[in-house]
Amino acid sequence: AQKVTQAQTEISVVEKEDVTLDCVYETRDTTYYLFWYKQPPSGELVFLIRRNSFDEQNEISGRYSWNFQKSTSSFNFTITASQVVDSAVYFCASTGGGNKLTFGTGTQLKVEL
């Protein structure tokens, strides 16, 4: 069974600071996918990134970057130069055998001026 742990319940930073959101996953599958979703105050979850278990190359998209390390079963998410609009709940999730996402409990990020 899949399990995703986001140990950080809430993080507060000041605008322009860098912030890293941690995600640790557990799986017995050799093929799996990892995701990050953003949930702004409006409630709708917005897809950010998907990585498969065979691709450990880190990815950068603008101010967002992701660090996937199979050796530590982690898929951490870094926001560089955070902005107030980044304030949201961020969810890490994984799939294994089957097409069902298992979500972590989310990290509430608050970016203040």
Partner 1 sequence: SQTIHQWPATLVQPVGSPLSLECTVEGTSNPNLYWYRQAAGRGLQLLFYSIGIDQISSEVPQNLSASRPQDRQFILSSKKLLLSDSGFYLCAWSQGTFNGEKLFFGSGTQLSVL
Runs of H (alpha helix) within the chain: none
Quick one: 15 or 48, whose CB is closer to partner 1?
A: 48
Q: With contacts defined by CB under 8 A, name the span among 17-25, 42-50, 62-70, 75-83 that binds partner 1.
A: 42-50
Among 33, 64, 80, 87, binds partner 1 (CB under 8 A): 33
**Beta pairing class for 59-61 and 10-14:** unpaired
Among 26, 72, 105, 112, binds partner 1 (CB under 8 A): 105
Told to check if 82 binds partner 1 by CB under 8 A, we report no
Among 41, 62, 99, 113, binds partner 1 (CB under 8 A): 99
In whole angstroms, give the CA distance from residue 25 to residue 20.
16
Q: With contacts defined by CB under 8 A, name the span among 12-20, 40-48, 61-69, 70-78 that binds partner 1.
A: 40-48
Told to check if 62 binds partner 1 by CB under 8 A, we report no
Q: Which long-range contacts (CB under 8 A, 24 or more apart) does 100-104 make?
A: 101/35, 102/1, 102/2, 102/3, 102/4, 103/4, 103/37, 104/4, 104/5, 104/6, 104/23
Structural tokens at position 84: 């107030």
Tokens 């972590």 correspond to: 104
Q: Which residues bind partner 1 (CB under 8 A)?
A: 4, 6, 9, 31-33, 35, 37, 42-47, 50, 52, 91, 93, 95-106
